[in-house]
Amino acid sequence: MEEGEIRLARRDGVVRYPARFQLVLATNPCPCAPARDIDCICSPHARRRYLSRLSGPLLDRVDLRVRMRPITALSRSDLTRPEPTSVVRARVEEARARAAQRWKKYGWLTNAEAPGPILRREFGLPRKATALLDHGLNVGAVTARGADRCLRVSWTLADLAGVDGPTSDHVSAALEFRDRRAA
């Protein structure tokens, strides 16, 4: 997945197929698929067993994990109007242009293409910005691969905000997207 190709090894050699794609996964929080957490009838053991069907290495390759909440009458009555698609599109185009400019000399277009060693060495962030991520690595809450993915998401959040580099707020937001409970 990371290298954008599928390799099939057989007796006569290796065949390579391009495989650049965006993987989107969806799952219920437990076997009974409740509308709300309070309606769940599953035991904690059943929930863990159900979610363990998604392997750790697979989940480690998922950049964003978002837990969706059911729509309620109160959420539908929210008076704030969403941003128009044209405004969001313009912000995303600016962010992608920022990333493309940053990675141009390496031959990449997006933050997702930047390898971890480059992010850590040449584009290393100040300790203050990565303190929470470093703590997660030290206590085993985040793997090395997960930390690299968190850094990529941090750069994307910074690009969307129109700033030159990720701050501790961007890194902590990226870590929130990796929250295992949202899987």
171 within 8 A of 129, measured Cβ to Cβ:
yes
Each residue of 43-74: pLDDT tens digit?
889 888 888 888 888 888 888 888 777 666 56
pLDDT over 60 at 166, yes or no: yes
Residue 78: its pLDDT value, please?
Answer: 62
Residue 55 CB: number of other CB atoms within 10 A?
9
Each residue of 153-165: pLDDT tens digit?
999 999 999 999 9
Each residue of 82-129: pLDDT tens digit?
889 999 999 999 999 999 999 999 999 999 999 999 999 999 999 999
pLDDT-derived band at 182 (thresholds 50, 70, 90) equals very low
Nearest to 166 by CA among 175, 28, 135, 63: 175
Residue 134: its pLDDT value, please?
Answer: 93
CA distances from 177 to 14, 50, 58, 171 (A): 36, 21, 15, 10
Residue 156 CB: number of other CB atoms within 10 A?
23
Residue 70: its pLDDT value, please?
Answer: 67
